[in-house]
Structure formats: C-alpha cells, structure tokens
Amino acid sequence: MPNEYNPKSIEAAVQKVWDNNKSFEVTEDPDKEKFYCLSMFPYPSGKLHMGHVRNYTIGDVVSRFQRMQGKNVLQPMGWDAFGLPAENAAIKNKVPPAAWTDHNIADMRGQLKKMGLAYDWSRELATCKPDYYRWEQWFFLRLLEKGVVYRKKATVNWDPIDQTVLANEQVVDGRGWRSGALVEQREIDQWFLKITDYADELLQDVKKLEDWPEQVRTMQANWIGRSEGVELSFGIENSDERLSVFTTRPDTLMGVTYVAVAPQHPLALQAAANNEELTTFIESCKNTKVAEADMAKMEKKGMATGMMAIHPMTGDKVPIWVANFVLMSYGSGAVMAVPAHDDRDWEFATQYGIEIKQVIDAVDGESVSVTEGAYTKKGVLINSGEFNGLSSKLAFDAIAEDLTNQGKGHKTVNYRLRDWGVSRQRYWGCPIPIIYCDDCGAVPVPEKDLPIELPTEIEFDETGGSPIKKMPEFYQTTCPSCAKPATRETDTFDTFFESSWYYARYTGADNDQSMLDKRADYWLPVDQYIGGIEHAVLHLLYARFFHKLMRDEGLVSSDEPFSKLLTQGMVLANTYYRENDNGGQDWIAPDQVDVQHDAKGKAISATLRADGQPVLSDGMSKMSKSKNNGVDPQILIDRYGADTLRLFSMFAAPPEQSMEWSDSGVEGANRFLRRLWRQVQEHIASGDEVVLDTKNLSNQQADLRRKLYLTLQKVTDDMGRRFTFNTAIAANMELLNDVSKFDDKSEQGRALRQEIFTTVILMLSPIAPHICETLWKSLGKTSLLIDESWPQVDASALVQENIELIVQVNGKLRGKITVAIDAKDEEIKQQAQDADNVKRFIKENLADKSVRKVIVVKGRLVNIVVA
C-alpha cells in the first residue's frame, strides 16, 4: 500500500472492481424493498458540465445511501438525444445530427464513468434510436384512436426569408437569428394532446405529492390555473353571431364598457376586411414572437373595430376592440372589459378614453374612487339594477343564474393550462406517424409499418429548414387505407415527448415486443427524482400527464411517476468581461483572470493574466457557454480525482440552493481527502487492531465516542431525510478534527480510533466512494465496502450525566451553567440566578427592578425576565 493519496490509480482500480462484480446491475427482487433513484437524463451536448456533475452526484449519494439501507436500488442513465443543438451543430459544421449525437454520447458516457456513478449501464437508452422512439409512435397512435389527440391551427414564429419555423430562442429582438428577418406569427396545422382533459386530475394529484417541494407543487397548481367563473356571450349588432367570453367576476358584468378580442379572432379579421387601418394594426401585432413573456412586456395597444357588442343583461351597445394582449390560444380569444374593477382594463380604457363605470363599492363603507385606478377587491354591487346591494359573492350566483335562465351563459370551470402542441417543424426529432391522403385525410401509419425511421444520412442547407421536408424519398408514400399516392407527415414530436416516459422505459429498455412490461410495476413509481428547478413546470407536468395516459392504457398501475422530488439549484461561477468596440462584451474565462484582494481578502479588482490589464466583473452567474465562465469537470477529475469533485459539489451548498464555483474550494476538498488518507495511514501504522472495552473508557475517550455517535446520528438524518450533504460532510470534518487533537496513544485510544475511522469511512462512502473503498481495505476489512450496510448508532455511547445550559437575562446571553441531566426546574432556576455574570445583570444593572419570571427550556436555556 503506497502511502500517498493517488486518486487516479485508486479510482481506476476501484471502478474496475465494481465493473467486474457488476455491482450496480439490478433485477427485480420481490423479497427486497426496491428503491428507484433517477436523475434527469442529459442532453448530449458533447461535454459534461458542472450542472451534470452536481445533479448526478446528488443522485449517486442518495442511491448509495439507500443501498446501504438494504434496498434494491435501481439507478439508470440515458440520453435525451433529440433536440435543436444537434441541428445547429449540423448547420455549422456540416456533420449530420445522428453522427454528432452518437459521438457526443460516447464522450459523455466516458466522462460519467470516470465520476464513479453507481449506474446500471445495462439499461442505457438514447431517445434518438428507433428502438426507443418507435414506442412513442405506437403510443401516439393509440392515443389518436382513443381521441386524446387532435389537430388544429396554432401560431408559430415564421422566418419569411429562410422560410422556416423558429424556436423562441432563435428569435432575437424580434428577428430571426440567422436571417435577421422580422419574424411573423403564422398559423399552421399541428397535432395536440388533450392535456386539459386531465387538468382536474393533474391538479388534484398535486395535493398528493407530499414529498415534492412546496414551491414546485404551487407552480404546478398555478400553471394549471383552475378558476371558477361564468362563460357568457354577447350579441353582435347586425349579426346573428354571438361573442363568447369567460369571466371570474360576473358580479362586475354591469360594469362592462367594452369587449376586447385577439388580433387573430374571426371578428377582428371580419372587421378588418373593409378597414385598412385595422388591417395594418392586426398585421403589426404579428411582428412579435409567440412567447407569453414578450406578449406581457410589450406596450398594450388596441384599436376599435367599429363593431358593437350587445350587453347580455342591459342590451346596451359596447364597442368591440382588438387588443394585442388578448391571447387567441387562451379561452375563447375574447374578454369582457370592466375598467373600473380590473387593472389592465383600467389602463387600457384610460389610454383610449373608454368609459369607466363603477359597479362595486367597498363593504366597509371605505370611499372608492375609480378615477385613479381600478378597485379590484370584492364588495357590494351598485349601478347594477336589480342586483344592487348584493355582495360580490351573492351577485356571482344571481347573475350566473339569470344568464343561465336567459340561455346566455352558465357557470363553468376554466383552466389556464392549454392543450399540448406536440408538432415541431424540425428534423432532429421523432417522426409523427401519420400519412396525409387527399381522399382519406390524416391516416395513421399501420402498426406493422412502425417505426417510421428518421433518415440519418442527410445534409442541412443554409436556411436551417428540416431536410426531410425536402426529401421526396422520405415523404412520398401511399395511403394505407386507399393505396393512392399520399404524403407522409414531416413534422416531428416535441422533445418533451421523449422525456415524458423515459423513466418508465428504463425498467425494461431491452424489450423489443412492447413499450413496457410488468417490470415497470416492480420499479415504478420513481422513489427519488432529481433535477434542475428549471423543469419545475413543463417537463414535470408533461411527464405526470404521460404517466396518467400510460396508466389509462394499462401500461403502468400507479397514478404518479415520481414519489419524491429534489430540485437542485444552478451552478454559478465568476464572470469577467471587457467592453469591445461595438459596445458589447467580450467574455473572459475565469481561469485567465487574476484577482486582487484587499487586506481582508475581499476581491477589489481583476486583471487578465495575458496582459496584466484590468477586466470588469459581472459577479456570479450561471455557468454557460455564452458567458464563457464554464469549468470543465474533466480537467478537475484529471487533476484532483472524481472524489474531490464529488466532495466539493456536495460541500459547497445544500442541493436545492445555487452553488458557487470556487477553485480554492476544490483544493480545500482535496486537502480534506488527503488529510483523511494520512490520518488513516498513520493509524494503521500505529499498531495492530485491539478490541475496544466500552465499559472502561476515560472521560476523554467517552467524550470522543459520544461525538462519534452524535455525528452518525446527524449524518444519517442529513443524508436520509434532509439531503443536506454539506452539513453531513461538515460533521465528519468536525469529528476528524477532534480525532486529530486526541493524542491518546493507549491501546484503548487506538481501538477507539479504529471504530471512528471505520464509521467515518462508511459515512463518507456515498460521497467519496473510491477513497473510502480503498481505505476500507487498508483498515483490514476483507469485504467490499460497496456491499456494506449503514452503521448503527450505539445508544449507550450517547448517555450523558451533565449538560450545559445557557442563561439569558431579558433574552441576552449572560452566562452558562452545568447541571445534571435530570435536574429539576427549581434547581436550574436557582443555579442560573446564582451564576456570576448573571447575578451582576440582575442586581447591579437593574437595581430597582425585580425578577418577573424565569423560563426554562428543557436541555437548552434559562431566560430570566427582569422588569
């Protein structure tokens, strides 16, 4: 055994042992409690980044800890392999996405293996392979048959120069990123999944997800956005048509002074037909990208159509406006506007000089003015005819009932959630298995013809448009029902489709006969899911929805896919730049920068190492290519070893918080491992192992042994319940600091050290498994550490005769006392008041006052209240 800590050789050796033993390959074992631990699979961008390292280390620590608890642990890994970056790389480097992706997967797999992650690699999957995506084609057709799938028009970002559809991120400042053309909104036919049919269940079941972070549950619930209200319709002057709107405030119905419709609304288009100004306005509304955030931030604009709506109650005429902030895709694409009682309506009405009519008054007689702003609270109805004097709550029902009786409306439930558009006009995705026939319409591809394979030998042209849309050999086919020439669908699925069910496929990734099999029922639901907080809404909602779809098809038996969720924070790093001539920033990698500190160590300036000239700091931001502040894990693994990287990732911050990268922090983590290594080696060199006589310990030995088991107790809780690996590591550091101060050379002392090191190595093994496996052997163990159980607390070591209490006077710390563990409150109170410094504060400083009461908090403190 060499005495130097050499991570490179021990990590390779330990990984080989795990490999040879197939330590992480698992099968269904009905006699053991299963634990399915899943980290969100990566997009194979080419290189592992720190976000991955952090995510996968968390998952690995949880998996290894659960394994030590005796569970049958499944931890798989795979690749979310379809997506835009492969297309971008293809355009840039003329490499086909399939080849580029395969290459990246091979590289990243190699990096992951060097991290020593306890994956069952036999279950590896890549979503871009036909043996994976064929099943989602199959499932899509099942859903189509069942009526969950339908086709309708939806808006996309259209690049008029490149003649392609752009993703939101490909639109920069309203222009196509490649062509620079102003993007236009365009309506095209797309496939949708009726997620709204499951809205209620998705919302109800959020409540059952008790082991999800509260913030994620709230975000999911808000995203679904259930609201109870009334759907009602306005008549249209000189027309038989009616205009339908939804409102959550029918009590304000009498305050409606206009109606607003989306620019794409049929009424708007009808009105524009002989109105040039309106046509221009509607056209101008198309020059925004479809992102809701952009819509919300833009200036609120509108134009009257000249058409009038007829109020369903009063029969009054109110103008119909076109407004750029009304979304066609939400509800009916029209809203009734009550400027007196809605902020946005108020602003719009004020801007365009539309009447503001107050119909709600405050309940408590507070004076209400709607000239300075909208009054949005509920209250009592005024100016509302027969409904005057009713509370908002009663008016809600009364008005709804009245509308129902007149056949002009009814109570209903509305969701903010919209159906899931799954069509993408992109190449690198799963082909949608549909054939279009002039006679038969959209015809499903027969099951025997699945999978529809995506051609991989392709070339992109400079427009970036999907190559298969220009490949007759792909899209020319015959109709499955009438055999006439027909056209294949060239759109592909949203990549959220793949990531919505991969967790289930891991349970039977080798099955080429069916999507899932009964192994899914053994492993599902996932016991612990770990991934970035950025997925809190979309991915998790789609996966939950997909799970319910699979359940309703009899493929899985649970209602929810992920029992417990941990959302990890981002990895941040220092960011530096220089202004360039164009006024933009040239981002400089942190490892090219020297930082100057003041006497206290605070960073005061930074210079570029190459020229010694100053650079500007942009503080901490998310590691990203665009800011050039990424740190390559590979370099760190080569320099310090995977254990150091794992340890630092877990130590720098608790998993849910963002984590700041620090080079010196990594060195600190490495220093700790070297210290641990040396301490153990010195202990081994100090003599042979002897048995600890726990009945005859010196006070010092008993104290240290108590510290050991207090640490174990804390670490068990930190790892198993709290997931605060940073404090688990800190507790071990504290314990080892105490051990290094413990200079007891006796046999008992040595025996105690043996017990401590054995336990510490078990405790740290989920985090730094290679060094621990190696030291385990050094301590003379013949078993493999990976097959060991989590240590048990020796309760007898925790017993204490005396404890220290702090003494406060009026809530301020004034002294400490030592009392017997079973001391009575009266004794404690007396002793506290007799303590030196405490006495001074009671008597000297507060001479004319007296002790009002004494509060004793068991095992913690005494507070003497003087007044």
Tell me the pairing of strands 360-361 and 175-176.
unpaired
Helix (H) / strand (E) element for 320: namely strand 317-323
Q: Is the dihedral of CA 18, 20, 21, 25 positive or negative?
A: positive
Nearer to RNA, 478 or 837 (CB): 837
CA–CA separation, 213 and 701 (whole Å): 42
Give the 3-state secondary structure percentages of the chain, helix then strand then coil, rounded to 5: 40, 20, 35
CA angle 617, 621, 625 (to 5 degrees): 100
When binding is defined by CB under 7 A, the residue of 25, 145, 169, 386 that contacts RNA is 169
425 binds RNA (CB under 7 A): yes
User: Of the ranges 95-103, 293-301, 445-453, 687-695, which one interacts with RNA (CB under 7 A)?
Assistant: 293-301
- Cα separations (Å) of 247 from 202, 337, 380, 399? 23, 9, 18, 12
* DSSP assignment of 540-571: HHHHHHHHHHHHHTTS---S-SBSBEEEEPPE
Secondary structure (H, E, C), 223-262? HHCEEEEEEEEEEECCCCCEEEEEECCHHHHHHCCEEEEC
Tell me the pairing of strands 802-809 and 861-866.
parallel
When binding is defined by CB under 7 A, the residue of 811, 818, 825, 843 that contacts RNA is 811
214 binds RNA (CB under 7 A): yes
First to last CA, the chain: 68
834 binds RNA (CB under 7 A): no
Nearer to RNA, 223 or 501 (CB): 223
When binding is defined by CB under 7 A, the residue of 29, 438, 594, 717 that contacts RNA is 717
CA–CA separation, 87 and 462 (whole Å): 11
Token pair belonging to 137: 């084609």
User: Of the ranges 263-271, 349-357, 626-634, 722-730, which one interacts with RNA (CB under 7 A)?
Assistant: 722-730
Interactions with RNA, residue window 618-647 (CB under 7 A)? 621-622
User: Of the ranges 8-16, 449-457, 585-593, 650-658, which one interacts with RNA (CB under 7 A)?
Assistant: 650-658
Closest approach of RNA to the CB of residue 255, in Å = 21
520 binds RNA (CB under 7 A): no
33 binds RNA (CB under 7 A): no
149 binds RNA (CB under 7 A): no
Q: Which of 740, 782, 743 is nearest to 757 (CA)?
A: 740
Three-state DSSP state, 124: coil
When binding is defined by CB under 7 A, the residue of 674, 706, 777, 781 that contacts RNA is 674
Q: Residues binding RNA: what is the number (CB under 7 A)? A: 106
When binding is defined by CB under 7 A, the residue of 13, 413, 482, 603 that contacts RNA is 603
577 binds RNA (CB under 7 A): no
Closest approach of RNA to the CB of residue 541, in Å = 8
215 binds RNA (CB under 7 A): yes
837 binds RNA (CB under 7 A): yes
172 binds RNA (CB under 7 A): no
477 binds RNA (CB under 7 A): no
174 binds RNA (CB under 7 A): no
Three-state DSSP state, 595: strand
When binding is defined by CB under 7 A, the residue of 24, 35, 36, 43 that contacts RNA is 43
733 binds RNA (CB under 7 A): yes
When binding is defined by CB under 7 A, the residue of 120, 231, 718, 755 that contacts RNA is 718
Interactions with RNA, residue window 230-289 (CB under 7 A)? none
CA–CA separation, 57 and 53 (whole Å): 6
When binding is defined by CB under 7 A, the residue of 32, 578, 597, 625 that contacts RNA is 597
Classify residue 483 as left (phi > 0), alpha (psi -120 to 50) or beta. Answer: left
Nearer to RNA, 363 or 813 (CB): 813
Nearer to RNA, 195 or 282 (CB): 195
User: Of the ranges 118-126, 362-370, 415-423, 558-566, which one interacts with RNA (CB under 7 A)?
Assistant: 415-423
227 binds RNA (CB under 7 A): no
Give the other-Cβ count within 10 Å of 45's Cβ.
17
When binding is defined by CB under 7 A, the residue of 675, 777, 781, 839 that contacts RNA is 675
Q: Helix 538-552 and helix 214-224: axis angle, to 10°?
A: 70
User: Of the ranges 46-54, 67-75, 217-225, 364-372, which one interacts with RNA (CB under 7 A)?
Assistant: 217-225
User: Of the ranges 280-288, 439-447, 448-456, 717-725, which one interacts with RNA (CB under 7 A)?
Assistant: 717-725
8 Å CB contact between 79 and 105:
yes
Helix (H) / strand (E) element for 436: namely strand 434-437
Closest approach of RNA to the CB of residue 713, in Å = 9
When binding is defined by CB under 7 A, the residue of 17, 71, 85, 614 that contacts RNA is 85
When binding is defined by CB under 7 A, the residue of 66, 305, 495, 701 that contacts RNA is 495
566 binds RNA (CB under 7 A): no
Q: Name the one residue in this structure whose structure tokens are 């040039």.
A: 276
Helix (H) / strand (E) element for 15: namely helix 7-20
756 binds RNA (CB under 7 A): no
Please, is 807 exposed, middle or buried when counting C-beta atoms within 10 Å of its C-beta (0-12, 13-18, 19+)? buried
When binding is defined by CB under 7 A, the residue of 49, 54, 123, 426 that contacts RNA is 426
Nearer to RNA, 387 or 427 (CB): 427
Please list, in sequence order, all residues whose beta carbon lies within 8 angstroms of the beta carbon of residue 106, skipping any fewer than 6 positions away.
Answer: none
When binding is defined by CB under 7 A, the residue of 174, 455, 614, 668 that contacts RNA is 668
298 binds RNA (CB under 7 A): no
Interactions with RNA, residue window 91-130 (CB under 7 A)? none
Closest approach of RNA to the CB of residue 153, in Å = 11
8 Å CB contact between 412 and 231:
yes
- Cα separations (Å) of 590 from 91, 576, 657? 30, 7, 22
User: Of the ranges 234-242, 364-372, 494-502, 743-751, which one interacts with RNA (CB under 7 A)?
Assistant: 494-502
Nearer to RNA, 491 or 788 (CB): 491
664 binds RNA (CB under 7 A): yes
398 binds RNA (CB under 7 A): no
Q: Helix 769-778 and helix 747-764: axis angle, to 10°?
A: 150
Q: Show the site string, 534-563: x = touches RNA by CB under 7 A, - = not.
A: xxxxxx------------------------
Nearer to RNA, 24 or 661 (CB): 661
84 binds RNA (CB under 7 A): yes
CA–CA separation, 543 and 535 (whole Å): 11
831 binds RNA (CB under 7 A): no
8 Å CB contact between 517 and 508:
yes
Closest approach of RNA to the CB of residue 28, in Å = 29
CA angle 252, 253, 254 (to 5 degrees): 95
Closest approach of RNA to the CB of residue 665, in Å = 5
When binding is defined by CB under 7 A, the residue of 130, 614, 665, 720 that contacts RNA is 665
User: Of the ranges 83-91, 387-395, 397-405, 576-584, which one interacts with RNA (CB under 7 A)?
Assistant: 83-91
Give the other-Cβ count within 10 Å of 450's Cβ.
17
CA–CA separation, 701 and 759 (whole Å): 16
332 binds RNA (CB under 7 A): no
When binding is defined by CB under 7 A, the residue of 362, 413, 821, 857 that contacts RNA is 857
330 binds RNA (CB under 7 A): yes
CA–CA separation, 30 and 47 (whole Å): 38
CA–CA separation, 842 and 850 (whole Å): 8
